[in-house]
Amino acid sequence: MKKDDCIFCKIANGEIPSRTLYEDEAFRVILDLGPATKGHALILPKDHADDLYELPDQTAAAALVLAKRMITLMKDKLHCQGFNLVQNNGEAAGQTVRHFHIHLIPRYEDDGQHINWKAGSPSGEELDAVKAQIVE
């Protein structure tokens, strides 16, 4: 199902033109208009889901298989040295478009990008408490 007023629904379903790298009945893969690096692409399901929580399992599985296929092709064509897959859920995580998508970000030696976090240094007790909060 498409959602009214969702720009990625419109792009995924061809109502707004995009630089499409791949399309099938369930997905469109497009070039990001604000690329982190050359070739930065987005996998968009054609059916709307706000985020990964809402995405049907079958679509989630197919999206990762498609990601694998796309980065294999793009690695060969772009001669990049690595790939980051980024998938943001929620504003706090940096999601700006509320339609599930996976970023495929080719990485090149010395491309100047930083897709990193600052490592914390919790105590063993703190890690135990986090674990207990999640699974006990």
Residues 20 to 39: which contact ligand 5GP by CB under 6 A?
Answer: 30-34
* Number of residues near Zn ion (by CB under 5 A): 6
Are the CB atoms for 99 and 8 separated by under 8 Å? yes
89 contacts ligand 5GP (rule: CB under 6 A): no
Please provide the distance, in angstroms rounded to a whole number, between the alpha carbons at the two ends of the chain: 37
Cβ proximity to ligand 5GP: between 18 and 37 the closer is: 18
- Per rule CB under 6 A, is residue 84 in the interface with ligand 5GP? no
Q: Does 96 bind ligand 5GP (CB under 6 A)?
A: yes
Scored b (16 or more CB within 10 A) or e, 30-68 reads: bebeeebbebbbbbbbbbbbbbbeebeeebeebbeebbe
Among 88, 107, 108, 111, the residue binding ligand 5GP under the rule CB under 6 A is: 88
Burial class (CB in 10 A: 0-12, 13-18, 19+), 17: exposed
Residue nearest to Zn ion (CB): 6
Q: Considering the complex, what minimum distance in angstroms separates the CB of residue 11 from Zn ion?
A: 9
* 112 touches ligand 5GP by CB under 6 A: no
Distance from C-alpha of 30 to C-alpha of 118, rounded to nearest angstrom: 30
**Residues annotated as catalytic (active site), given as ranges:** 101
Does 10 engage in binding with Zn ion (CB under 5 A)?
A: no
